[in-house]
Amino acid sequence: MLQLQVVREEKDNIIAALQKRNLDAAPLLEKVVLLDEKRRTLQTRLDNTLAESNKLSKEIGMLFKSGKAQEANVLKEKTGGLKEESKSLGDELSAVAGELQDLLYQIPNIPNALVPAGTSEEDNEEVFREGDIPTLDTNALPHWELAKKYDIIDFELGVKITGAGFPVYKGKGAKLQRALIAYFLDKNTAAGYTEMQVPLLVNEASGYGTGQLPDKEGQMYHIGADDLYLIPTAEVPVTNIFRDVILNENEFPIQYTGYTPCFRREAGSYGAHVRGLNRLHQFDKVEIVRVEHPANSYKALDGMVEHVKSILRELQLPYRILRLCGGDLGFTAALTYDFEVFSTAQDRWLEISSVSNFEAFQANRLKLRYRDENGKTQLAHTLNGSSLALPRVLAGILENCQTPKGIKIPDVLVPYCGFNIIS
C-alpha cells in the first residue's frame, strides 16, 4: 500500500510511474487525494466537537465535586447536541476513511526506474544467463515421462487422494525432494539467513499484511470454518512476523529463511504448460526474506540475486535471469528478478525463483517500522525470494541430467541423497 502522504505530495509522479504497469491511475489517485482532503476536514471538525464536549465534561465533574449539582445539570443539557454531532461526524468520517482505504488497496506499487516498459512476459528483459544447455539423446523424455519410467512421482495417485496438482513423490523421488530442501536450507543459513518454521495457515490480517488480500483472494485456499488461509508462499507467515513491529536501526539486516509447502488454487490454466510438475496446487519451496533499512534494500536485492545464482551454479543447471517488465511485475513489487531454468526436454524456460524488493509497500500495510537516528519512526523495506521452488528444479534436474543409464544426481546433492543416480 502506498503511503497517503506520498500520494498527496507526488501524485503526478506516481501516475507517470504507474503507466509502466499500463495503468492509468489518474482517476484513482485524484479520488484518493479528494477523499483524503475530505477525511481531514471531517477529522478536524470531529476533533473540535470532541474537544468541546471533553471540556464540558470536565467542568461538570468539577461542579459535582464542589456540590454545585444545579449548575452541573444545566451544563449537562448542553452536551446533547454535541453528542449527536460527534456521532454523525464520526459515522461520516469512518465511511470516508473506509472508502479511502479501499482505494489505496487498489493501487499497486510504484515500479523502480529499472523496470522496463512492456505488457507481458514477452517484454521481460534478460539480464543474465549462465550454464551449458546439455545436448540430449533424441529419445530424451520430459520429466513426467521420466517420473513414470523410474517410478519416483505418481501423479494419478495424487488425483485419487486429492485431485489434479497434488503429486505423490515416491522412493528416490521423495528422497531427492527432501535432499533439495535440506541443501537449500543449509545454503541459506550458511549465507546468514536464520531458519524459521512457521504456520501453514494464516489469518486474514496476515493476508492483508503482505498483499495477498484483498487483491488475490481467489488464489488462496480458504478454510471457512476457522476463517484461515492456506499459505501460497512462506513469504506470508515469515514477513508477518514483523507486522506491528518497530525495529531499532541496529537490528538490520534481518534475514530469515523457511521451508514450507505452498498451496495455490491457480484456476483456469490447462494443457501442456501445466503438465507434470510445471504447475501444481501444492508444492514445496524454500524462501528467503529480508527486512532492510531503505538505504540498503537494493543492495540487499542484488545480494539475494547473487545468492540464488550461487545455488544454481552449484546445481549446474542452465538458467537465466529476467528483469520483469511493468506488465508482468507483481502488484506489491517495485522490482523483481525472475530466475528460469532451462528444461531441455520440454525446450522451454521454467520459472524457479522470483526475487523482489517491495520497498515500503508491504511495510506500510504491516506497520513495520524502525526508529531512525532522530528517534522518528520510518517504514522499513521488505524483500523476498525463492531459494528455491522445488518442483521445477526437480523437473530441470530430471530432464537435464538424464542419461541412458538413469538420472545423474548433481554432485552437490549426493551427500544429501545418499545415491548418485536414479535408475
Partner RNA sequence: GGAGAAAUGGCAGAGUGGUCGAAUGCGGCAGUCUUGAAAACUGUUGAGGGUCACACCUCCGGGGGUUCGAAUCCCUCUUUCUCCGCCA
Least Å distance, CB 284 to RNA, is 21
Which CB sits closer to RNA, 5 or 269? 5
Biggest alpha carbon–alpha carbon distance for the chain: 102
Helix segments in 136-248, DSSP class H: 143-149, 155-161, 171-190, 204-210, 235-239
Nearest distance, CB of residue 61 and RNA, angstroms: 3
The least distance separating RNA from the CB of residue 5, rounded to whole angstroms, comes to 7
Query: Measured from the CB atom, is 5 or 138 closer to RNA?
Result: 5
Place of cell 534494500: 297
User: Which among 389, 369, 371, 388 has a CA at the least distance from the CA of 379?
Assistant: 369
Q: Which long-range contacts (CB under 8 A, 24 or more apart) does 248-251 make?
A: 248/370, 248/371, 249/293, 249/370, 249/371, 249/372, 249/373, 251/370
Least Å from the CB of residue 41 to RNA: 9
CB of 92 to RNA, least distance (A): 14
Tell which residue, 117, 111, 132, 112, has the closest CA to residue 320.
Answer: 132
CB of 80 or CB of 214, closer to RNA: 80
> CA-to-CA distance for 166 and 154, rounded, in angstroms?
9
Report the C-alpha gap between 72 and 49 in whole angstroms.
Answer: 19
Cell numbers for 406, please give them: 538413469
Q: Name the residue nearer to RNA (CB basis): 282 or 378.
A: 378
Which residues in 192-225 are b (16+ Cβ under 10 Å) and which e?
ebeebebebebeeebbbbbbbbebbeeebeeeee
In sequence order, the 6+-apart residues with CB closer than 8 A to the CB of 174 are 152
State in angstroms the smallest separation of the CB of 53 from RNA.
6
CB of 74 to RNA, least distance (A): 11
**Closest approach of RNA to the CB of residue 14, in Å:** 18
Q: CB of 281: closest distance to RNA in angstroms?
A: 26
Task: Return d(Cα 354, Cα 41) in angstroms, integer.
Answer: 43
CA distances from 77 to 56, 57, 71, 243, 367 (A): 11, 11, 10, 45, 42
Nearer to RNA, 76 or 313 (CB): 76
Q: Which is closer to RNA, CB of 34 or CB of 114?
A: 34
Q: How far is the CB of 34 from RNA (least distance, A)?
A: 14
Q: Which residue has the cell 465511511?
A: 95
Side chain identity, residue 61:
G
> Which residues are near RNA by CB under 7 A?
5, 40, 43-44, 46-48, 50-51, 53-58, 60-62, 64-65, 76, 79-80, 83, 246, 369, 371, 375, 377
Cβ closer to RNA: 85 or 266? Answer: 85
Decide whether 51 or 114 has the Cβ nearer to RNA: 51
What residues have CB less than 8 Å from 140, skipping those under 6 apart? 344, 345, 399, 402
- The residue (of 31 and 313) whose beta carbon lies closer to RNA is 31
What DSSP designation does 113 have?
A: T
In this structure, the strands spanning 125-130 and 348-359 are: unpaired
> Looking at beta carbons only, is 89 or 305 nearer to RNA?
89
User: In angstroms, what is the minimal distance from the CB of 399 to RNA?
Assistant: 38
DSSP-derived 3-state class of residue 416: helix
Whichever of 81 and 415 has its CB closer to RNA, that residue is: 81
CA 289 to chain CA centroid, Å, is 10
- Which run of H or E residues covers position 81? helix 69-105
